A = this chain, B = another copy of it.
Amino acid sequence: MTEIARVERRSGRPRSEDADRAIIEATLDLLAESGIAGTSIEGIAARAGVGKTTIYRRWRGLESLICDAMLTLKGPLPTLSGASLRDDLLSIAEAAARSRESARNRKVYACFVGEMSRYPALDAQYRETVIAPRRELTRGALRRAIERGELRDDLDLEVMSEIVTAPTLHWMLHHPDQTPSRELLEQLLDGVLGGLRPRA
Contacts and interface: CB of A to CB of B under 8 A. Distances in A.
Interface in A121-170: 149-153, 155-156, 159-160, 162-167, 169-170
A184 interface: yes
A65 to B, nearest CB: 18
Interface in A10-53: 34-35, 37-38
A188 interface: yes
Contacts of A162: 167, 170-171, 188
Nearest to A175: B162
Interface of A: 34-35, 37-38, 107, 110-115, 117-118, 149-153, 155-156, 159-160, 162-167, 169-171, 173-174, 176, 184, 187-188, 191-198
Given A159-B187, A164-B196, A169-B170, 8 more contacts: A150-B198, A151-B197, A166-B171, A167-B167, A192-B195, A192-B196, A193-B196, A195-B195
